[in-house]
């Protein structure tokens, strides 16, 4: 067993009864923090794998009556952060992202309308393949980002009539 550190985002701030419920549901390895109106639970969970640690922590929070909104991640980044992480200028990365320079195929932004945000794990993979770059991204960051996206997708599909059909994309 290993200790895995990560942070879950909850749907609301717990009152005293909610804190007790979290503790009784198995979140005694978590610390609650409110940061700019967002409820975070920082975990140090002993589990055989990060995936198992994440799944059991999510289940424990939900058993306590909370909705897990996501997993805190540094995966969504603007072009300026990508430039810093790749050691390139902003303009160089902007030209790569708009296919005006480089091999093309830069990962699409995950947001639109104004300031675009990109998945750092996707950009890191692309830059390793096409720019021969060696950006700092590891399996932990990728698993955290993927779990965040899965939790958010599950929440979006919660009341969707097509949910079962769409979950087949995950092999569920």
Q: What is the pLDDT of residues 38-60, one digit of tens each?
A: 999 999 999 999 999 999 999 99
Question: Is residue 165 scored above 80 in pLDDT?
Answer: no
Which residues make beta-bridge pairs with 42?
A: 7, 31
pTM flag (> 0.85): no
Higher model confidence: residue 112 or residue 145? 145
Q: What band does 164 get if pLDDT is binned at 50, 70 and 90?
A: confident
Question: Is residue 63 scored above 60 in pLDDT?
Answer: yes
Average pLDDT of span 5-25: 97
Q: Are 10 and 67 within 8 A, CB to CB?
A: yes
pLDDT for res 121: 87
Residue 105 exposure: Cα atoms within 13 Å on the Cβ side: 10
Higher model confidence: residue 129 or residue 40? 40
């Amino acid at each position: 067993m290993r200790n895995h550190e990560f942070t879950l985002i909850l749907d609301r701030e717990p009152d005293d009864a909610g804190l007790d419920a979290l503790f009784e549901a198995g979140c005694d390895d978590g610390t609650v923090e409110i940061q700019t109106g967002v409820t975070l639970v920082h975990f140090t969970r002993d589990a055989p794998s990060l995936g198992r640690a994440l799944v059991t922590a999510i289940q424990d929070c939900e058993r306590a009556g909370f909705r897990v909104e996501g997993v805190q991640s540094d995966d969504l980044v603007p072009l300026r952060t990508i430039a810093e992480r790749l050691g390139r200028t902003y303009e160089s990365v902007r030209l790569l992202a708009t296919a005006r320079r480089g091999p093309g195929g830069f990962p699409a932004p995950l947001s639109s309308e104004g300031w675009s945000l990109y998945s750092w794990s996707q950009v890191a993979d692309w830059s390793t393949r096409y720019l021969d770059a060696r950006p700092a991204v590891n399996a932990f960051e990728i698993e955290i980002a993927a779990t965040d996206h899965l939790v958010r997708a599950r929440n979006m599909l919660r009341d969707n009539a097509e949910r079962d059909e769409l979950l087949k994309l995950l092999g569920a």
